[in-house]
Structure 1
Amino acid sequence: MGGLREAHCFRQAAAGERSTHTGECAGHLVSDGTYSTRASRCGCHFPRRDVYIEKFDKDNPNRYLTPSGWRDAVIRHEQIKVRKGPADPSTDTQTFDVTVTRHGPIVLEKDSTRYALSWPALDPTALESAGLFDANRARNWQEFSEALSHHSGPTQNFVYVDVDGHIGYYGAGRIPIRKSGDGSVPYDGSTDDGEWAGYIPFDKLPHVYDPPDGIIVTANQRVVGQDYPYFLSHAWAQPYRARRIYNLLSEKSKLTTDDFRRIQADVYSIANTTFARAAAKTMKSLPSAASDEKLRSLISDLEKWDGMLNVDSRIAPIVSQMRSAFRQRILNAVLGADLAKNYNWPESDVFIDRVVTDQPKEWLPKESATYAELFNASYEDARKALTKTLEADESKWTWGNMVKARFLHPLAQVPFIGAQFAIAPFPQNGGGGVINVGSSVSMRFIADPSDWDKSLNGIPLGESGLPTNPHWKDQLGDWRNVSPRAFPFTKIAVETATKETLTLEPAPK
């Protein structure tokens, strides 16, 4: 699920009304049999995997060093059946030996160094489904929380709403408490420095129930403050989506299904708008700002841009490429071009926001005398990048031509049969850092606790995995237009809406 984006938001109801829940995620829905509660879950950014450098005996490659001396590794012999070819269903059996240390399996060997992975999911006593069945039958927040306390699978953002107007959130799962460090770099496996002292107690995990402002937003952003006593992560998602969702939820005291659909479709870019305004203000100080007609036009466009990443926007690709070039110039100056290529931190854009807004002298690259010059150089870089990717014809420089929705199928490249699985890329509103993240949206869901049968749900393509089936991509149009379909819940509503029934039976022996 790491490659997918999720977001959930709730607006708590006033007395006599019903709370509403909306979500975009790659998770699963659970709901009790009496229709009183509903919850969704999606992966959250709490790292729970640590890597250890194990020191193996040169004379005995199956023996590794521990604080108490040498220990024999466990060698697990795996047999994997591999299909012989696309047109040949017969298989060959490949053998693969897995070396397991006290920390976990060896997952990488490079330059004679072997790395072991420790991960709660590898614990044979862990059961991902534990608690989820009980959560599926929970009738209130207390029962829901009790059910999640037994969840030992991957850490998830669990969100909750019920017909009485209550809302809640729990970041549940096993999160290790480390003896030292935070798992950012590999530990020395021959010592106990990186050992796990246990897991964060369930009641200490991030959670909230009926917050004072009546709003819960989770979009993989930071969910705890600096005073939280346990380490969760250095790599939170950018805060822009969560902030934008919160702002939109706060615009009205009462929201409708159409309001939530509008929120799901929103493509306003906080990061790029911040950059555009700062660039416009600063570039006015350039000596040629008054006389250069193209520069004046650029500054005007940056000032007036509405911040929306719509397919027909001409300024959005300019701003996006300018910001990218600005960031790269900052990093190149500090790290050097080689290191800068490998630099990756999800919240680095927050740092860029500060640089473009405060413009501290210590971060100004030496090749630029002023930030105005740096913005101008970034603009020239942006033009070169757009010319390279979209050609020199500036009429083609639109957001829809630069950023397209792509649904890559693993079978699309298979000779003879692959073409039927290919879906041509197409222009799509939205992208990274905005609520509507484009093709990363794997599902849209709006729950209506006042009448579960009025809930809405949609996926990008369709329910069938067969290109010849009418449901292969019959939901694509609704997905593009952010108009999820009716999602009946009660038995009678499901039976009434049913058009086809697919029965799966075991193959005859």
Structure 2
Amino acid sequence: MGSNNWAVAPAKTKNGAAILANDPHLSLNLPSLWYAMQLSTPEFTVKGATLPGALGIISGFNENIAWGVTNATRDTRDWYSVQFKNEDRTEYLYNDRWIQSTLRIEEIKVKGQASFIDTVVYTHHGPVVFDRSFRGDRQDVNFALKWTAHLESNEQKTFLLLNKGKNHQDYLEALDHFTSPAQNFVFASRSGDIAMKVQGRFPLKWEGQGKYLMDGNNPAFEWQGFIPFDQNPATLNPERGFVSSANQHSTDSSYPYFMFDDSFEHYRNRRLNNVLRESENITVEDMKKLQFDQYHLHAAEALPVMLHLLDQSGGIDEFGEKGEAFLEELGQWNFNTFPNQKEPALFQTWWKHLYRKIWAKWENDSLSIVLPNKYQTVKLLNNEPENPLFDLPETDQIETAADLARLSFQEMVQEITAWQEEKGSYEWAAFKGTRIMHLVPNFESFSRRNIYTGGYSGILNATGERHGASWRYVVEMGDEITAFGIYPGGQSGNPGSRFYDNFIKIWANGDYVNFDLRKQEEPAEVLFRTKFTQ
């Protein structure tokens, strides 16, 4: 799941104060996952977004520091093949010896029915997640899951300490209690410090370990311990004047530990860093606009290659007036994805068909296949258009990238034409169809469909059909702290309340509500108060 966060040093801001921004991207649901809260104590006041059941603010700020989180995108799970001695699964093979497994009885209560009793088998690797009782004809039966999230931890303490933190050292000490899921913690303070740390409990692995299923009998496949917290990637007050994360690689080749994941991001992070690198005299308004940035870097890099390949294939005469009109629109595109633009629908549809033409032959229902990502695919199209990978095995001729560009363009013309005939305009908001669904799938009337907004996956405003910024906030840590925040929902989980979804339109338009720290003697716009006494 994608997310963005960054902090800008005082030297790059107009008011000479550090600015921090955070927007975690999650599934769009109602009631909202987050809700806004200010906690005021005799010692400190903290404000931001929190989760039901949490004891404090998860992403927010107090009078001294601000912080935010994004997914660190690291492989902290491994699967081990387990050989049981017999059907009762009380013993399994490890290091060529039979050792005792642990059986735990789980009672799952079902309303109006007898409880469902399930026996979970535990090995020293972890629980056997898929076993003989799991539905479906699976190939991964009797595989144990080893995952850092199963280990002891105290993530709540991290946020309790951040809520009252005063400086960078407090931030570091708070993070020492956080293990899973690994996060990129951004930091800014009123004293002008900015920082980023990738925090989690990361296994020590030999290079390549965990990319594939491993033999649970062989001790050589065991984790060798964990990377020390003080050697997790981190930076404080870098010379470039900003820190940022957008689910990209957090280290370069000089990092001494093996680090792997197959879902690192390749576009949002480059757009974010380019804008921050080129910007000076940055304001809160600049950062709000950057969170809602609509520029489609993937399209900006891919479309010229696709158009060149299409031209090499012999043009589009056979596609008629529709094809010519679509091609003209694409040629004039500024690569933004505003809700009233049509070009994003043309590009995404063409790219979808082109990607499938290239890689569909490798898909296999009986195997789990990780296909090359968008960045790798564009690179292949541009650098090796004659590569045999582009050949379609079901035809007699040998296809090239130009042939696939032509075939996929034809499929795009057909799909968009059919859309027009059935639904009318293919403006981006209508075509994309962003929707915010109730957590209970059948509660359709409590959901909100056809949200008029732009953006898409791989864009800083990463609002797709069912996924996007679950919370946006920007704070300037000056003498007088200035903050703005918004999320796609409301403060109430009651569909009958006017506060159930009153933030959605504001969020969809890229606007915010004031999020300054409120003093207790300021009663304006207070909906209700809760006072805790001993």
In the superposition, the TM-score normalised over structure 1's length comes to 0.87
Q: 1:329 aligns with which of 342, 357, 360?
A: 357
- The answer to whether the Cα contact below 8 Å between 2:7 and 2:19 also exists between their aligned partners in 1 is yes
Q: 2:211 aligns with which of 170, 184, 191?
A: 184
- Aligned mates of 1:259, 1:122 — CA distance in 2: 41
Q: 1:319 aligns with which of 339, 347, 359?
A: 347
> Is it true that 1:128 corresponds to 2:150 in the alignment?
no
The aligned counterpart of 1:409 is: 438
SS of alignment partner, residue 83 of structure 1:
coil
- The answer to whether the Cα contact below 8 Å between 1:49 and 1:118 also exists between their aligned partners in 2 is yes
The aligned counterpart of 1:63 is: 91
SS of alignment partner, residue 204 of structure 2:
strand
The aligned counterpart of 1:87 is: none
- Aligned mates of 1:55, 1:365 — CA distance in 2: 41
Q: 1:381 aligns with which of 411, 420, 427?
A: 411
Q: Equivalences for 1:90-489 in 2 at 5 Å?
A: 92-109=114-131, 110=138, 113-123=141-151, 125-178=152-205, 181-288=208-315, 297-332=325-360, 335=362, 338=364, 343-345=369-371, 348-362=373-387, 363-365=389-391, 367=397, 369-387=399-417, 390=419, 392=421, 395-413=424-442, 418-438=443-463, 439-450=467-478, 453-489=481-517
In the superposition, the TM-score normalised over structure 2's length comes to 0.83
SS of alignment partner, residue 254 of structure 1:
coil
With over 3 angstroms needed to count, the CA separation of the structure-2 counterparts of 1:358 and 1:209, relative to structure 1, is: same
Deviation at 1:227, TM superposition (A): 2.7
- The answer to whether the Cα contact below 8 Å between 1:238 and 1:350 also exists between their aligned partners in 2 is no
SS of alignment partner, residue 424 of structure 1:
strand
- The answer to whether the Cα contact below 8 Å between 1:171 and 1:205 also exists between their aligned partners in 2 is yes
- Greater Cα shift, 67-76 or 200-209: 67-76
Q: Which residue type is aligned with residue 391 of structure 2?
A: P
> Mind listing any 5+ residue stretches in structure 1 that lack a counterpart?
85-90
Q: Equivalences for 1:9-28 in 2 at 5 Å?
A: 9-14=6-11, 17-25=16-24
- The answer to whether the Cα contact below 8 Å between 1:462 and 1:471 also exists between their aligned partners in 2 is yes
The aligned counterpart of 2:103 is: 75
Q: Deviations over 1:375-407 (max 9, x none)?
A: 22110122233356x254695223222211111
- Report % sequence identity: 22
Deviation at 1:359, TM superposition (A): 3.7
- Aligned mates of 1:305, 1:104 — CA distance in 2: 52
> Is it true that 1:36 corresponds to 2:64 in the alignment?
yes
> Mind listing any 5+ residue stretches in structure 2 that lack a counterpart?
26-48, 51-56, 132-137
Q: Which residue type is aligned with residue 374 of structure 2?
A: D
Aligned residue pairs total: 486
Deviation at 1:59, TM superposition (A): 5.4
Q: Which residue type is aligned with residue 64 of structure 1?
A: Y
Deviation at 1:290, TM superposition (A): 8.3
SS of alignment partner, residue 250 of structure 1:
helix
- The answer to whether the Cα contact below 8 Å between 1:129 and 1:153 also exists between their aligned partners in 2 is no
- Aligned mates of 2:367, 2:456 — CA distance in 1: 22
SS of alignment partner, residue 246 of structure 1:
helix
Deviation at 1:55, TM superposition (A): 0.4
With over 3 angstroms needed to count, the CA separation of the structure-2 counterparts of 1:327 and 1:60, relative to structure 1, is: same
With over 3 angstroms needed to count, the CA separation of the structure-2 counterparts of 1:158 and 1:365, relative to structure 1, is: same
Q: Which residue type is aligned with residue 108 of structure 1?
A: F
Q: Which residue type is aligned with residue 120 of structure 2?
A: V
- The answer to whether the Cα contact below 8 Å between 2:323 and 2:413 also exists between their aligned partners in 1 is no
With over 3 angstroms needed to count, the CA separation of the structure-2 counterparts of 1:341 and 1:357, relative to structure 1, is: farther
- Greater Cα shift, 154-163 or 176-185: 176-185
Deviation at 1:106, TM superposition (A): 1.0
- The answer to whether the Cα contact below 8 Å between 2:73 and 2:261 also exists between their aligned partners in 1 is no
Higher relative contact order (CA 8 A, sep 6+): 2
With over 3 angstroms needed to count, the CA separation of the structure-2 counterparts of 1:373 and 1:298, relative to structure 1, is: farther
- Aligned mates of 2:10, 2:114 — CA distance in 1: 59
- The answer to whether the Cα contact below 8 Å between 1:32 and 1:139 also exists between their aligned partners in 2 is no
The aligned counterpart of 2:528 is: 501
